[in-house]
Amino acid sequence: MKEETMDAEKRLADWLADSEESTQADGDPLLTELDTLYAGSPPEAAVERALAKLRAKLGEENPVLYYGELATSPVGPISVALSEAGLVAVEFGKAGPDFLEHLQRSHRAQAVRSPERAGPVLRQLGEYFAGQRDSFNVPVDLSRSTDFQQQVLRAAARVPRGGLATYAEIARHIGKPRASRAVGQALARNPVPIVIPCHRVVAADGSLTGYSGRGGIRTKAQLLVLEGVSTYTAALN
């Protein structure tokens, strides 16, 4: 029995090319490929892809958002939050615990106060309200929005300060001329108002049909008047 075991081990070693006298691996494509895999390390690009997937998975399970607050503005306090990719939230009237609860509920994220990360967008918001900035130069992370919503929001972002567009015009711009109502719904879910100026989109007759920010239509009118669109001054009375 012992001799049979030794013979079996020798045959296995010979097949694996582990014995000194073995030459069976020569010319065997399978064994040659195995030797190459065992002898070498994975390509660097493959390692980087694997690490990127791991980081993404860990980020999905425990994302971190960095937040900050603008204590005063013409429309009240404003809180912002940023992911590693960019701005994910601009909220009117929510500050401190209320904003943190909102982030936890909507993003299921760990929130970390970071004046350094939030500083650029807060500074630009201050400049906007002071009439010193027409557009924003901060990365925006729309990864939680659908493809359609992203198309609508990017189109709205092109409407300049002091200008207006209609829901129908946005729908035509994205190649879906019959989607005016859906455009309105997408704008109502704008996660970063003001930075993406959904307040500049109005009904075909020029009426202010709604605004998701705190204060609703009055806030929408207030922002437009601030930008020089005096047509809506009466809506503030």
SS3 140: strand
User: Which has the closest alpha carbon to 15: 30, 3, 37?
Assistant: 30
Q: What residue type is assigned to position 200 of the chain? A: R
β-pairing, 64-70 vs 110-113, is: parallel
CA distances from 109 to 49, 62, 102, 235 (A): 25, 6, 10, 38
Q: Which residues of 22-53 are buried (b: 16+ CB within 10 A; e: fewer)?
A: eeebeeeeebeeeeeeeeeeeeeeeeeeeeee
**In the annotation, is 5 catalytic?**
no
The amino acid that residue 18 corresponds to is: D
CA 70 to chain centre: 21
Considering the candidates 81, 198, 224, 229, report the single residue annotated as catalytic: 198
Q: Which helix (H) or strand (E) holds 111?
A: strand 110-113
Written as six digits, the tokens of 123 are 């500074």
Q: How many Å apart are CA 171 and CA 175, to the nearest integer? A: 6
CA dist., res. 15 & res. 93, Å (int): 73
Tell me the catalytic residues. Answer: 198
